[in-house]
Structure 1
Amino acid sequence: MEKKTTSAIPAGQGAQTFEWAHDWVGDYFQRGFVVDQSDNLGVTLDSFTSAAAEAIQFEGNIVGLPHAAETVTLIYNTDMVDEAPKTVADMVSMMKEHHDPSNGTYGLSYPFDPYYTSAWLQAFGGYYFDPDKEQMLGVNKKQTVRGLEFALENFKPYMPNDPKYEPQAAAFAAGNAAFAINGPWYLATLNEKGVNYEVTSLPSPDGGTVKPYTGITMWYFTKAMEESGADTAAARSFIEWYVTNEDHLLTLAKDQGVIPVLSSLVGSDELPSEVQTFSQTVKQGVPMPTHPKMNKVWPGMETALISAFNGDSTAKAALDQAAKTIRSNWE
């Protein structure tokens, strides 16, 4: 999506809108890929949660409309696990019981990338990037390093060997893992595969507090929206329907685990229990920054986590290298 939008939009070949999480807001606005449409809205921002309304703006410019919240939380296979673990220590003992790679079973199915692991890297006072701090980049602060060491020590031993999304997600979806840490988008796959599961809160780490990154999925207004005509009118009509139609949003919640941010649906008893659980985890989390520099944080962190997971470097060395790469990309 990033490659397509950054090539097509400036060439005048992009669509009027596209769907993505809110972390591109600042970067794409500064680069002229998305535009303010505050004067053309048929929807008021108080229709959405305050977090969602804030996420779609950059320096007062409204560059899209939100339709869902997202984060990752713990999912367990009820054919293997009787009850949810309260602490990471409890979870480790349960993972040990079911981890048997020689027979194709694992304790945990967990994509090891910056978004998914943020709960632990930020659990002990660490952070990736915070524009409000004097030291904006925090990827190699000792607290962040401690979080990565914690994740490697407690989770890596019980996971498939490949840290990428597809092989990790496949293990739980095939009924071959006791636990998964994944997002609401994963539930449709589990339902299709017939996995018996429950969604629960992330367990507590000793001496820390889980702080996963949270995102707001939104429909962006690209610069093509500045043009008048039938396509622009259709795009605006579609977006406004998509983000405000309660029946549609409830269907997404029930079929795909989507977490609504429309104020009239937040906390509704009509939402499935798993969606309500994801909503609780969203409240625990930290919104991804919309600052333009944030978009350059992800690639360096992804390389660092894979390196540390594969044992090619220590957690500290990997994150020190990530910091160098990110600063170089900023320059």
Structure 2
Amino acid sequence: MPTTPTTSLRDIPGQGASDTLFPGVGRQLTRRSLGRGAIAAPGLLALAGCGGSEGNGDPSAIRIVDYYNTPADDVAINGTFTKCAEELGLTFSRERVPGDQLIARVLQMGSSRTLPDLLMLDNPNVQQVADSGALAPLEQYGISTEGLTPAVADLGMYDGTLYGIAPTVNTIALFYNVDMLEEAGVEPPSTWDELRTAAEALTTEDHYGFAFSAIASYEGTWQFMPFMWSNGGDETDLDSEGVLGAAQLWSDFVADGLTSRSVVNWGQGDVMDQFKAGNAAMVINGPWNIAGLEADTPDLHWDVVTIPVPTAGADSVAPLGGEVWTVPITGDEEKQAKAAELLKMFVAPENQLYMAGERSTIPGDVEAATQFASENPDLGTFVDQVSTARSRTAKLGPDWPRTAKAIYTANQRVLVDDTDPGEAYDEAARTVS
């Protein structure tokens, strides 16, 4: 994970930078939106059955496109594909595309008939691409959701059909500085009231009590979802009390000086940098930053708990992140079948365990996740958080991007302009109606 303030695609697991490259792309690309007179992005609606993908002369040579680019990713992904390909008598090549360019590259490959044999997508983009007809249903190849939680299965589903599978997933939780909490005499919070009390005790001239990312991108929406969902808010009803209460909570933390106003400009990597520097005692963040946290600040005594909830005993509901692997329709059915065979082995539970360990993510398979938690206690909290996590696109499908933008835009108005949450979210609800 990068430790500089610059946000990279790996600072946004489950939130690929393609989100900001094409805001509203889901509505532009769906057949339904075409029926409403929208203009489709050139190429995507013509992706299905494109044929002519590179390497079709050799059905055993599988071409893969993804955006993984860190050393840990390469060890995990290359290592697993190498093992699986050797067992199946296949070869593979990987094309790494920067996360903020992936969807544009998919469009280009579709128009030039060079779609890969295996395509990794950030999970919010799966339904958009599946809606275009570009992806092959996986169940015809014997790939199923058996062993996955419903939420993990939903990441690769569209209209009841499985188009992608996520071998590992991630989410966010509350990191805290153990020494700061002990010095202030407070326990790790589990409710909103406890979070506020702890933040008040932890806020000094030297550091803030609490920090999160409220940046004007889907990353800011990603961090808001646990507060909105756990408060009974819903993405289909943006001016509901549950949503407004979560927005007011964030507003109060900033207005009362318990959280820096700079959170409106901070990505998740920036927030973790503040935690490392001792400028924030508690932060919302994800397991992908643990390796950098341990490497850069080995003397920092930290721990993690699930995100506090409005009332004691309620479930902490966070968004489910992770990349989903798909088999594009290239027109070469033999090669599609071989690619699916490779994918099926790639996502086997034992390979999920290996990749999760290398990348600090959580296996999608329930039994593998339980084993992983026992073997990796530092990540046990994230396993618990994943068990109640929710897919962002489950309710809105390809229309999710527009609502996600409306949410982060409303929060910017609340935190930057001091707009009343009711006014900001009333406007947000109108923009997506």
TM-score, with normalisation over the residues of structure 1?
A: 0.81
CA RMSD between the two structures? 2.9
- Contact 2:230–2:316 at 8 Å: present in 1 too? yes
SS of aligned partner of 2:375: coil
Percent identity over the alignment? 18
1:183 deviates by 1.9
- Contact 2:154–2:391 at 8 Å: present in 1 too? no
Residue 213 (structure 2) aligns with: 111
1:320 deviates by 1.8
1:198 deviates by 1.0
1:241 deviates by 3.8
Deviations 1:134-173 (A, max 9, x none): xxx2111233112211232246632232223143232013
SS of aligned partner of 2:303: strand
Q: Higher RCO, 1 or 2 (CA under 8 Å, sep at least 6)?
A: 1
SS of aligned partner of 2:232: coil
Compared with structure 1, are the counterparts of its residues 189 and 242 closer, same or farther at alpha carbon in structure 2 (3 Å cutoff)? farther
Greater share of residues in strand: 1
SS of aligned partner of 2:320: strand
- Contact 2:168–2:361 at 8 Å: present in 1 too? yes
- TM alignment of 1:73-152, pairs within 5 A: 73-82=173-182, 83-100=187-204, 103=206, 105-112=207-214, 113-128=220-235, 137-152=236-251
Q: Which moved more, 1:107-116 or 1:29-38?
A: 29-38
1:22 is aligned to 2:146: no
Residue 316 (structure 1) aligns with: 422
1:76 deviates by 0.9
SS of aligned partner of 1:45: coil
Among residues 104, 121, 125, which one is paired with 1:7 in the alignment? Answer: 104
Whole-angstrom distance in 2 between the partners of 1:279 and 1:324: 36
Whole-angstrom distance in 2 between the partners of 1:197 and 1:27: 39
Whole-angstrom distance in 2 between the partners of 1:32 and 1:61: 12
Deviations 1:230-284 (A, max 9, x none): 6x577545533432252x4334444443111124312115431232211212233
Unaligned runs of 5+ in 2: 1-16, 22-100, 215-219
Residue 131 (structure 1) aligns with: none
- TM alignment of 1:1-331, pairs within 5 A: 1-2=17-18, 3=21, 4-9=101-106, 10-11=110-111, 12-41=113-142, 43-82=143-182, 83-100=187-204, 103=206, 105-112=207-214, 113-128=220-235, 137-154=236-253, 157-162=257-262, 163=264, 164-165=266-267, 166-194=269-297, 195-206=300-311, 209=314, 211-215=316-320, 217-221=322-326, 223-228=328-333, 235-236=339-340, 239-244=343-348, 246=350, 248-268=351-371, 270-290=374-394, 291-327=397-433
- Whose radius of gyration is greater, 1 or 2? 2
Whole-angstrom distance in 2 between the partners of 1:199 and 1:119: 15
Q: Which moved more, 1:301-310 or 1:263-272?
A: 263-272
Residue 73 (structure 2) aligns with: none
- Contact 1:219–1:239 at 8 Å: present in 2 too? no
Aligned residues: 314
TM-score, with normalisation over the residues of structure 2?
A: 0.64
